[in-house]
Structure 1
Amino acid sequence: MANLLKEVYEKTSEYTAFYTGGDIQWTSDGSHFLCQCEDVIKVIDINTLCNIMTIGEAIEDRDEMDQIYTFQLSNNNDVIVTAHKSGLMKLWDRNTGKQLKVWRSGHKGAVARLAFDPTDSNIASAGSDGNIRLWDLNHYTCISSLHGALGVFTVVKYHPDISKQIIFGAADDTKIRSWDSKTGKELLLYSGHFSKVTSLLFTSDGEYMVSSGRDRVLILWKIGESKAVRVLPVYESIETAILLPPSFKIPNFKKKLEMDGIYVACAGEKGIVKVWNLQMSRLMFEQNNSLVSPASEEGGLAITYLLFNEARNMLSVVTADHNIIIHDLETFNCLKQMIGFTDEILDIVFIGKDESHFIVATNSRDLKHYELDNLNCKILKGHTDIVLSLACFPTRPDMFVSSGKDNTVRIWLRDINNDIKCLGVGSRHTASVGSVFTSQTSDKFFTSVSQDNCLKVWSVPKNLDVSELKIKSTHTELAHQMDINCVAVSPNDKIIATASQDKTAKLWSEDLTLLGVLKGHRRGIWCVRFSPVDQVVLTSSADCSLKLWSIADLSCLKTFEGHESSVLKIEFLSKGQQIISSGADGLLKLWNIKTSECKMSLDNHDGKVWSLAVNKNESIIITGGSDSKLVKLKDVTVERREKMAKEREELILQEQELQNLLHDKKLVKALKLALRMDRPLHVLKIINEVLKCGNSKLYETIKEINHTQKETLLKFAVEWNTNNKNCHAAQLVFNILAPEIISGNLKVPNLSSFIEGALPYTERHFERLTNLLQDLNFITYTVNCMQPHAVKN
């Protein structure tokens, strides 16, 4: 049985946040996204989801951090300009990530928006002080300052036609202003919006401009005329709009010759993309497959950016939840979903027979359905508030249950096409449902516990072909007097366990008759689990401990201490012989139950580790926590054991070879092998053996070894030098190698620390030998003085 025990799990991959809100841009070839992520810009490869480069180093000390307020990618995609909290502006090379130039913005306050001119030779910085400053990027000098606006700029754009040399800007006063970018003179004022202007778009012929705003309208302007050509009500706050190319295809849209016009795709609070023909004032397309939930409050945000890539004919929707959803424009099918930032990860569960996918509940109403290998993701909609807990049916691995803050429980089923549908909803709880657990021997029932202090058993409907069925609760019990944190079902489905903030865990029968109370923890209990083989229950608590209880007499059998904070999640491993636990201290610990010792401690998270999922054969563990990081761990116990056995075998063979070389007096080969094996005592023995043939022989021997071996020999000599008995060999090695070090032929890393270590002992040996020499000379002198007297006598 001992060979079943796990010894070590190793991190194989992690999925961290790459977009935490703020600016986002798409490279013109469509292969990368540039995403603002806290204090840096991350360059993300769309195909692999890998962060291939980070622009702007994150500083460890949060107080000294120079936050990026906004950034802009040049039109030719070669450089990026960032504006920082410190008032600095920085120019970066987009391909290497190197900083090319830094200069002060000169604004009174933060820079809110940046815009490159069509030639990429100038950049405009629009501040919160109502001013726009124009910078010459060849000399990094301010060539003009544009005044007139009031408040913080929301939009700044150059006219795409270089010959016109016009720059447009809109600030808090909701008016769109235009200036001559050469002279800095204010040209025209476009008044039409009554709320924040969110985007400015220019038609391909450069004759018209489209503006969108939070005042629920799109306005078409003719450049050079201050009166609006057309005002189009769109019945929702618009946060983002893009101009579609003159020729394009979208579903259910037959473009007629007389319907040529200006087509604008816009989105905002409703979470759907709409395409309008501005000249006909007609809605041409309304998305019906949106994965974005509408804003929860009036005037709120659901979609923050629309990005169009002409090279790939794709449209990206960036949501307020930091998700990036890529659609093919022609079919409007969803091609890819990228999760930029998951916030806190609350629960994880593996699904499917092959466990190739897993479901994640984050601080969101939407569930995330990930592929294990490449972390491709799909968003699952259903809950109307944050999802708190997940549980899968062991007998039917494609079916799972979820519960949330919307007081409901839901059953989900995955079909053969990997699509997941919500089959049923149970809504009998009167508060947040914090934990669910499924039957272990069938797919007929599951349990749930809630902040209403109730434990419920639900029956799974027999007919699962109809979606959104009502799930009925068969039993209900007021289980505890405080919040219930966890529920678990025994492997034979006969007992249900609940764990609560009232410091107790309780055992219940199938019909919710109380069987016993487990008392002993000093703080609230976070998690409870049944052993897969023994009649024992495991609990973990905010008192930093884990306890093992006997089901028969409700006594505490063992207590495991080692975590420094609340132990949030626990699971049995190795047929009930081991425990894996995760804590609020960010640690994951592996315990052996028999010896009560902690075999492994992993520190992969920066905060609470709320979730822990183990696959059936226990080869993979996925953890997630408050740092919005998913970490995948692999059991490498067998590989580690095989590696150690191989190393031991190699060592025995080398030992034998060394003995044979010493026996055959092949001292140079023996010295090389002993140095390679890192054996200071064997090396000393060989050096002393060589010295029997004289110092010159040692000089010749050392000449035959390479630089790496000489470095190792020098390291050993410093060690020997600390002992009076071995100092002779050490000093001879120093003497032979010193000329090579002085001439530079032998490069020694950390030479100063090596000298510092060797010098005091060398001085002591020199002093001792000098005193010894003095004593010998004195004895010789005394003997010489005594000799004439001896002759006379």
Structure 2
Amino acid sequence: MTSFLKEEYEKTSEHTAFYTGGDIQWTADGVQLLCLCDDNVKVIDVNTLSTIQVIGTVEDNVECDQIYTFRLSHCNTNILTAHKSGLMKLWDKDAGTLKKMWRSGHKGPVVQLAFDIKDENIASGGSDGNIRLWNLAFNTCTSSLRGAIGVFSVLKYHPDTAKDLIFGAADDTKIRSWNCKSGKECMIYSGHFSKITSIQFTSDSEHMVSSGRDRVLILWKLNEAKALKVIPVYESIEACVLLPPSFRIPNFKKKIGMEGIYIACAGEKGLVKIWNMQMSRLMYEQEHSLVSPALEEGGLAVTHLLLNEARNMLSVVTVDHNIIIHDLETFGCHKQIVGFTDEILDIIFIGKDESHIMVATNSCDLKYYEIESMNCQIIKGHTDIVLALANFPTKPNLFVSSSKDNSVRLWLCLEDNSIQCVGVGTRHTASIGSIFTSQTSNDFFASVSQDNCLKVWSVPSEISTYNQILKSNHTEVAHQMDINCVSVSPNDKMIATGSQDKTAKIWTEDLILLGVLKGHRRGVWCVKFSPADQVILTSSADCSIKLWSVADLSCLKTFEGHESSVLNIEFLSKGQQIISCGADGLLKLWNIKSSECKMSLDNHDGKVWSLAVSRNESLIITGGSDSKLVTLRDVTVERREKMTKEREQLILQEQELSNLLHSKKLVKALKLALRMERPLHVLKIVNEVLHHGNEKLIDTLKEINNTQKEILLKFAAEWNTNNKNCHAAQLVFNTLAPEIIRGDLNVPSLGNFIEGTLPYTERHFERLTSLLQDLQFVTYTVNCMQPHAVKMN
């Protein structure tokens, strides 16, 4: 049976956050996204989602300088960043190297940056209401533009260089323009009554469109500062883009002479709308948006719109840090990217081949990932944070979810990999923290809630593609405190629950209490039935895991090793092993029979809430509070095979070494012993060589290469610590010292090597000096005694 036991899992991939909110830009070729992530700017490949470059990293032991905002140059080669320290830095995008750095001169943080169309000058807008213009060639401030009040929300150069204009809008809800050369204020555009979120210049350079949180779009005549059109859009607008003249959208064909100004905008409702500004007409409104509307009036849903003309695509960036890329012509969803998942609360495998995973994060939306590519679909349905997931072993494409919205939902994965909600249950009166499905059928599932109730739900025998009302067959007040977990036995005859009241309880399928497991000192976080034996496993906030007998409710074993709450546990290897994860960020593998921890992995920076094990136990995926999805692969068999091959190779080498020694082929034997890193065999060979004189050792050492000489020096340092072997060590040092002095032989950490060998060498020298003195004294005594002996005769 021990041959089935796992010994080691190895991390194969790690999916981490790359966009945590703030600025985001799309390169002109549509291949890369630049995302603000914590204190850095990450350059992401849109197709593979791999991080190509990280801008703003610092060396060790240097305090991190947080990036407030950044801007990509029009030529897509440079990135300008503004930092918490007041510094502004210019970076090479592809190399990630710092090119220039200077102080902004603002009295507060820099919140907006802009490049002119030639990338020769830049502008910085601060929270102090000032704009400073900079010449990049000389790093000099050419103008300081005043007049605005408050923090800048928009800053943009006019694309026509002949006009030499820069536009900015701050908290005073007015758009101002300044002359870049003279620094004088030109015009003030008054019309908005709330924060201005975007300004767009038309291709004729004569008009401007602005959007704001006051629920209007305004078309301006630039040279007159006149509002030509004020269009009410009935929602707070956070982002808008000007569509190119040749654009196409569904159900709309531009007629000849309809080359008007078209704006795509999005805001609190989460829908993309396209307006003809000159006709004040809504031309297109998105249907079936993947973006949830804001929870309250005036809240955020969409934060950015990014247009890529090269690919004819529009990206919608949401407040949940999701990036949804649409094909503009069909407005179909081309790709969904999750930039930051926040806390990962639960994970399950989906499908017969387990090629996908479903992830519950700190969001009302589910994330449906393809494991190989980590492409994601956002699944909508719940109205509050999803807390738990569970799949049916007998029907891998059917699973259930529970949420803070007090409901459970039954989901079906269709053949085209789309997910359909097929059932909803709303009998609980509080958040549903855990669910578990039947193991031998797909007839029922159990749920527990903060209302202290345990419920058993029936699954419809015929599952249709529309939401059915799920019925609760049994309900029981199971504990007097919050219930953290529920589990169903492998034969579907028993149900176990664990609670903050420090106990776990065992119930029949009809919710008749069979027994109470008492022994934990803190709340029970997880409970699982063994797949093979009549035992139950529990984990607790007291940092321990306990194994209980179902028959007499006694505690059989306690596993201690975690430094914090043990949040999740699973049986492995047909019930012979345990895998556990906890709030200490550790993943541990235990052998039940020996109570030994075989493996401990530290892949997370915070609590590890979720743990998913594939059916054949070859893959484990973990997720936690650090927004990481870590994939681990079972490498036990590979390691055993590798160790077997190494052992066989070692036996062959030892036999070869023995043969070489027997046949007195000392040079070959020395090379082999050094390659095998056998210091005792090497010492034996060196002593054998010294029997033929010191010159023989010098000739022998000429036959080995520098790498082998370095190993020999390391061994000689070990021999030098012993009086019996110091003679051979000192002769090796003496033979190789000239090569080290000439520089022919490079010794790693030469200073440390000398520092380690010198005290022993001095000790051996003192000992030999003392022996020589004693020998001279004996000789002197013998010589003195010889004349006296002659006289006696």
TM-score by length of 1: 0.99
Instruction: Give secondary structure in 1 for the equivalent of 2:548.
Output: strand
One-letter code aligned to 2:235: E
Q: How does 1:648-663 map to 2 (within 5 A)?
A: 648-663=647-662
2:471 corresponding residue in structure 1: 472
| Unmatched runs of 5 consecutive residues or more in structure 2 | none
1:404 corresponding residue in structure 2: 403
1:762 matched to 2:755? The reply is no
One-letter code aligned to 2:612: A
Deviations 1:629-668 (A, max 9, x none): 0000001110011011111111111100111111111111
Cα distance in 2, alignment partners of residues 18 and 526 from structure 1? 31
Contact (CA 8 Å) 2:165, 2:180: kept in 1 or not?
yes
1:485 matched to 2:484? The reply is yes
Q: CA deviation at 1:60?
A: 6.7
1:314 corresponding residue in structure 2: 313
One-letter code aligned to 2:658: Q
One-letter code aligned to 2:244: P
Cα distance in 2, alignment partners of residues 508 and 771 from structure 1? 84
Q: CA deviation at 1:466?
A: 4.1
Cα distance in 1, alignment partners of residues 554 and 52 from structure 2? 54
1:36 matched to 2:28? The reply is no
Instruction: Give secondary structure in 1 for the equivalent of 2:310.
Output: coil
Deviates more, 1:645-654 or 1:781-790: 781-790
Q: How does 1:165-244 map to 2 (within 5 A)?
A: 165-244=164-243
Instruction: Give secondary structure in 2 for the equivalent of 1:440.
Output: coil
Q: CA deviation at 1:550?
A: 1.1
Deviations 1:434-484 (A, max 9, x none): 111111111111111100011111111233224111111111111111101
Q: CA deviation at 1:789?
A: 3.9
Cα distance in 2, alignment partners of residues 307 and 242 from structure 1? 7
Contact (CA 8 Å) 1:495, 1:508: kept in 2 or not?
yes
Deviations 1:203-241 (A, max 9, x none): 122111111101111111122211111111111111110
TM-score by length of 2: 0.99
Q: CA deviation at 1:59?
A: 6.7
1:17 corresponding residue in structure 2: 17
Cα distance in 2, alignment partners of residues 378 and 531 from structure 1? 34
Cα distance in 2, alignment partners of residues 125 and 266 from structure 1? 25
User: How many residue pairs are counted as aligned between the two chains?
Assistant: 792
One-letter code aligned to 1:183: S
Instruction: Give secondary structure in 1 for the equivalent of 2:240.
Output: strand
Cα distance in 1, alignment partners of residues 587 and 172 from structure 2? 53
1:714 matched to 2:713? The reply is yes
Change (3 A) 1:314 1:456: same
Q: How does 1:47-66 map to 2 (within 5 A)?
A: 47-57=47-57, 64-66=63-65
1:27 corresponding residue in structure 2: 27
Cα distance in 1, alignment partners of residues 205 and 747 from structure 2? 66
Cα distance in 1, alignment partners of residues 786 and 438 from structure 2? 107
Deviations 1:545-591 (A, max 9, x none): 11111111111111111111111101111111111111111111111
1:437 matched to 2:441? The reply is no
Cα distance in 2, alignment partners of residues 388 and 434 from structure 1? 6
2:621 corresponding residue in structure 1: 622
One-letter code aligned to 2:757: A
Instruction: Give secondary structure in 1 for the equivalent of 2:224.
Output: coil
Cα distance in 2, alignment partners of residues 466 and 666 from structure 1? 80
2:84 corresponding residue in structure 1: 85
Deviations 1:482-537 (A, max 9, x none): 10111111111111111111111111111111111111111110111111111111
Instruction: Give secondary structure in 1 for the equivalent of 2:377.
Output: strand
One-letter code aligned to 2:651: I
Contact (CA 8 Å) 1:400, 1:412: kept in 2 or not?
yes
Instruction: Give secondary structure in 2 for the equivalent of 1:657.
Output: helix
Cα distance in 2, alignment partners of residues 215 and 439 from structure 1? 52
Contact (CA 8 Å) 2:421, 2:465: kept in 1 or not?
no
Cα distance in 1, alignment partners of residues 461 and 490 from structure 2? 22
Q: CA deviation at 1:58?
A: 5.3
Cα distance in 2, alignment partners of residues 624 and 510 from structure 1? 31
Identical counterparts, % of pairs: 76
Instruction: Give secondary structure in 1 for the equivalent of 2:651.
Output: helix
Cα distance in 2, alignment partners of residues 101 and 730 from structure 1? 54
Deviations 1:82-111 (A, max 9, x none): 000010111110010011111110100100
Cα distance in 1, alignment partners of residues 434 and 366 from structure 2? 15
Contact (CA 8 Å) 1:6, 1:574: kept in 2 or not?
yes
Cα distance in 2, alignment partners of residues 766 and 546 from structure 1? 59
Deviates more, 1:252-261 or 1:725-734: 252-261
Deviations 1:687-739 (A, max 9, x none): 11111111111011111111110111111111111111111111111111111
Contact (CA 8 Å) 2:425, 2:471: kept in 1 or not?
yes
Instruction: Give secondary structure in 2 for the equivalent of 1:540.
Output: strand
2:598 corresponding residue in structure 1: 599
One-letter code aligned to 1:292: V
| Unmatched runs of 5 consecutive residues or more in structure 1 | none
Q: CA deviation at 1:150?
A: 0.4
Q: CA deviation at 1:781?
A: 3.0
1:356 corresponding residue in structure 2: 355
One-letter code aligned to 1:6: K
Q: How does 1:273-422 map to 2 (within 5 A)?
A: 273-422=272-421
1:730 corresponding residue in structure 2: 729
Instruction: Give secondary structure in 1 for the equivalent of 2:781.
Output: helix
Cα distance in 2, alignment partners of residues 720 and 441 from structure 1? 65
One-letter code aligned to 1:142: C
2:115 corresponding residue in structure 1: 116
Deviates more, 1:266-275 or 1:217-226: 217-226
One-letter code aligned to 2:275: W
1:526 corresponding residue in structure 2: 525
Cα distance in 1, alignment partners of residues 395 and 785 from structure 2? 106
One-letter code aligned to 1:634: R
One-letter code aligned to 2:385: I
Change (3 A) 1:516 1:25: same
Q: CA deviation at 1:790?
A: 4.0
Contact (CA 8 Å) 1:259, 1:280: kept in 2 or not?
no
Deviations 1:326-355 (A, max 9, x none): 111111111111110000000000111111
Cα distance in 1, alignment partners of residues 508 and 726 from structure 2? 77
Cα distance in 2, alignment partners of residues 575 and 60 from structure 1? 46
One-letter code aligned to 1:468: N
Q: CA deviation at 1:163?
A: 1.2
Cα distance in 1, alignment partners of residues 309 and 257 from structure 2? 24
Instruction: Give secondary structure in 2 for the equivalent of 1:610.
Output: strand
Deviations 1:751-782 (A, max 9, x none): 00000001111111111112222222233333
One-letter code aligned to 2:486: V
1:103 corresponding residue in structure 2: 102
One-letter code aligned to 2:331: F
Contact (CA 8 Å) 2:420, 2:465: kept in 1 or not?
no
Deviates more, 1:554-563 or 1:89-98: 554-563
Deviates more, 1:383-392 or 1:43-52: 43-52
1:45 corresponding residue in structure 2: 45
Contact (CA 8 Å) 1:366, 1:382: kept in 2 or not?
yes
Cα distance in 1, alignment partners of residues 352 and 383 from structure 2? 29
Deviates more, 1:684-693 or 1:219-228: 219-228
Q: CA deviation at 1:61?
A: 7.0
Q: CA deviation at 1:115?
A: 0.1
Instruction: Give secondary structure in 2 for the equivalent of 1:224.
Output: helix
